Structures are given as C-alpha cells and as structure tokens.
Amino acid sequence: MTINMPFYYKKQLENKTGECYHKQQKYTKRRVKMFIDLHMHESTYSKDSFLKLEDMVAIGRKRGLDAICITDHDDMGLKKAAEEYAKEVGFPIFVGIEYFSLQGDIVAFGIEEYPKKRVSAQAFIDLVKSQGGICFAAHPFRNNNRGLEENLKIVKGLDGVEVLNGSTMPEANQKAADYAKELGLVAVGASDCHIPEKIGFFATYFPKKVTTMEEFIKVFKSGGCRPAYYQDGGYMIWDMKTKIHKPYKIA
Ligand SMILES: [Fe+2]
C-alpha cells in the first residue's frame, strides 16, 4: 500500500539525527506509547465488512499498530470472542460500537448496554456517560448522511471527534479537525476499515500504554491522544494545521 498525503509534518517530528518519529520509537527500549486504530469493522456483525478478526490482528501488527478496535455497526456481539482471541495472541483488542443515532454515527467504548433501536445522539451519549464510557463523533462531515455535522455543536457530552477517517475526503476531515479544535474535544484518527488495504490507514496516538478498557478510557480522557497517519512503514502524528490539498490515494 502506498499513500499519497501532502499534509505531513516531517520537520517537527525529526530529531537531531533526522529520524522520523516512528523510527525513533523503533529504537526506544521501553515503548510506552501506542498507535491504535479506533474504528474498524469485522464481518461477523458488520455485514458490509470483508474482514476477519484474525486477519485484522495480523495485518494490524504488520503495519505497526499496537492495538486494534472492533466497532461494528450497532452491535457488540464480537466482544467475548475478541477478548478471548486478544489473550490468546497477546495483542490488545478493544471492542466498542459504532452506533447510528438519529443524528449520525457515534463510536463508543466502555459500555455494556446500547439501544436496540435508533435513538437521538443525545440519548445515546447520555447512556454512554451513565455507564462510564467515552464516545466520539464518527466522520461528522462525511458525505454519506451519517455524520453529526452541525449537531456537533448542539449535543453535550461528546469526548472526541474523528478528524481523520479513512473513508472521508480530506476537506471533510479538515472541517472535523476545525470543529474539534473549536469545541476542545479529543481529535482522533481511524481507518473505518472494511477491507484489508484500509487497516491502520489512520490511527490514534496514545501517550501511554493501555491494555485494559479502563486504561484506554483513562488515557483517552487525559487529552494526550492525537490523530495519526500511516506513511513509509510507520505512523506520523498530524497537527491539524496544514490544509489538505487533494484526496488520499491508495494504490
Ligand atoms: Fe464505520
């Protein structure tokens, strides 16, 4: 997979020897930071996905991810199997959900219960909060009528905004980034993958190692997470300042 994205910030990420961020990490003895793909679909419960859990872990590992997330459409049926598989292979898998609220898609983690019918974004966010979970708006300005759009400014309680979504045009991702900054919400990146080539296309930098859902939520709330993109065999953090000039290309 080659990715052509013209909005990189190599300069700020270079150290004195000119190594890029992900290369520095490779030589760090105690690697405590993580890159996690926060929004991924597995085919058992996401019928529009072509991905099997085993392949998601294998490809994610190969690409340099430190953990993956399963966020199936309106379903958390894979939770138990995914947790068992995570233990078996020694690779963290966090199971959340991509819930299609009446106003648009919201990704949530740290919950056990979710509505079986469509409810408002606010009702879903309130339900997540009541269970101690976290949630972020998925692709809020993607052109598929499934984003929260201006509701970002109306709902209360969102923790974050997906500012790099692998199935969203750069202009819409930039708009999401602008809103995240304005609203002071955590900005995250995720592939929203349904096919192998997309796994890890975007990811989120976690400043601390997380292996349990409790740790995941604690670090997410800490505010140190950042959106990241895959390039030349590693991950780079996006600072959300430089404009994106043309669409992402996967060849
Ligand atoms: Fe999705």
pLDDT of 153 over the 90 cut: yes
Q: 142: CA distance to ligand 1 center in Å?
A: 11
Within a 10 A sphere around the Cβ of 250, how many other Cβ atoms?
13
Q: 18: CA distance to ligand 1 center in Å?
A: 36
Q: 192: CA distance to ligand 1 center in Å?
A: 5
Q: 39: CA distance to ligand 1 center in Å?
A: 6
Nearest to 148 by CA among 120, 170, 168: 120
Q: What whole-number distance in Å separates Cα of residue 109 and Cα of residue 96?
A: 4
Q: 147: CA distance to ligand 1 center in Å?
A: 11
| pLDDT digits 0-9 by tens, 179-235 | 999 999 999 999 999 999 999 999 999 999 999 999 999 999 998 999 999 988 889
Q: 41: CA distance to ligand 1 center in Å?
A: 7
Q: 11: CA distance to ligand 1 center in Å?
A: 32
What the chain holds in terms of domains, given with CATH numbers, is: 32-237 (3.20.20.140)
Q: 168: CA distance to ligand 1 center in Å?
A: 11
In this prediction, residue 247 carries a pLDDT of: 45
How would you class 145 by CB atoms within 10 Å of its CB: exposed for 0-12, middle for 13-18, buried for 19 or more? exposed
In this prediction, residue 243 carries a pLDDT of: 59
Q: 201: CA distance to ligand 1 center in Å?
A: 13
pLDDT of 161 over the 90 cut: yes
Q: Is 170 left (phi over 0), alpha (psi -120 to 50) or beta?
A: alpha
Strand 93-95, strand 67-70: pairing: parallel
Confidence category of residue 248, pLDDT binned at 50, 70, 90: low
Q: What whole-number distance in Å separates Cα of residue 46 and Cα of residue 163?
A: 22
Q: 19: CA distance to ligand 1 center in Å?
A: 34
